[in-house]
Structure 1
Amino acid sequence: MAHIDLGVDETEFPGIIGPMRYRPETAKPLNELAEVLLRAPHSMPPGERELIAAYVSGLNECTFCCGSHSAFAAAQLDQGMTLVDQVHADLDGAPVSPKLRSLLRIAGAVQSGGRNVTTAMVQDARAEGATDVEIHDTVLIAAAFCMFNRYVDGLGTLAPRDPDAYTQVAKQIVEFGYGQVPSRAAG
């Protein structure tokens, strides 16, 4: 049970969905930020940007955000959940492009502390073909997901253990995006 009464059935509105229903006026800008960072036109495909969000959420041990954004990434990557699981298990051995691996390393550094991003990491990302916009947005995705993870876990919200719960929501996110507060969880 969440630390505060969110006024919703947590089984219907798990994770971040409950707090967003509780405070729609704060949900709106948070959803707009997620939409811009993860789905707006960009040189990086949405699946790769969702993978960054999932990777950071995994490092933060945020069950809800890691589960949901892993499903959202998998739904948009050709290699699906197999690739997502490989990145979570062993970034260095995962079959991702050198550019994406360098960006994920930057995201991991942000997760442990923004000052952990080094000039060498940025130079490596550039050498692998990352643009300044991609580096900027990787840092912002990682920073934003540290905030989202702490929002979800700081309120003690419910995180479904069944991966299918996240797969159902992934279909909605891929089709409709983050543009509105969900009226209820899929499933």
Structure 2
Amino acid sequence: MSYLKSLPTDTTLLDVFRAYPASARPLLDFHELIMRAPSEFSAGERELIAAYVSGVNGCDYCHGVHTVTAEAFGVPEGLLTAALTDLDSAPVDERLKPVLAYVGKLTRTPARITDADAEAVFAAGWNERALHDAVLVCALFNFMNRMVEGLGIEADAAYAKTSGVRLRDGGYSGLATLLGA
């Protein structure tokens, strides 16, 4: 139920973006840059990171939408649930496990990140650009999780499916076109 009384109780994030386009447009531009511009990670892997961070935070809205988006990019169904339950035994690519461990720790206890955490990412074959990109995805979705939860935005599985497919097909710049004038 949205805490914004001027909007319907079943308000989605897209409705909030439409109500506040001045802040939504640069935010969506930033999403497009972080989530779709060239990166060491594929778009699906970045969506996986976003969904994982959102799951760690317990943000059902973002976790649902970005799980669907990650799966639409080819992440196997059920992988995110398994990763959140037990990352070590989850069927996650071995190169991605230290990345998810890093962003999970950064989300839960940011002041406890150490050089050893970064070294685990590098030891898995990732470079500094990859660590940078993973941290930006993590930071962006910690921000978005707090925005969604702070505004009381909720959605059901049907909306997550619609939104996830829309993000796969049009990216975040596609959302900006839905804001209107």
TM-score, reference length from structure 1: 0.87
Q: Deviation at 1:130?
A: 0.9
One-letter amino acid matched to 2:143: M
- Tell me how far apart the structure 2 counterparts of residues 89 and 165 of structure 1 sit (CA, whole Å): 24
Q: 1:175 aligns with which of 169, 173, 179?
A: 169
- 1:1-187 to structure 2, matched below 5 A, reads 1-7=1-7, 9-11=8-10, 13-14=11-12, 16-79=13-76, 81-157=77-153, 159-161=154-156, 163-179=157-173, 180-181=175-176, 183=178
- Tell me how far apart the structure 2 counterparts of residues 6 and 128 of structure 1 sit (CA, whole Å): 49
The 3-state SS of whatever aligns with 1:143 is helix
Q: Deviation at 1:174?
A: 0.9
Q: Deviation at 1:181?
A: 3.3
- Give yes or no for contact 1:48–1:77 (8 Å, CA) kept in 2: no
CA RMSD of aligned residues (A): 1.8
Q: Deviation at 1:111?
A: 0.6
* Structure in which a larger fraction of residues adopt helix: 2
Structure 1 ranges of 4+ moved more than 3 A? 180-184
Q: Deviation at 1:165?
A: 2.1
Aligned residues: 178
TM-score, reference length from structure 2: 0.90
Gapped regions of structure 1 (runs ≥ 5): none
User: 1:119-162, CA deviations, whole angstroms, 9 ceiling, x for partnerless residues?
Assistant: 111111101101101101111111111110000110112x223x
Identity %: 32
- Tell me how far apart the structure 2 counterparts of residues 18 and 70 of structure 1 sit (CA, whole Å): 21
Gapped regions of structure 2 (runs ≥ 5): none
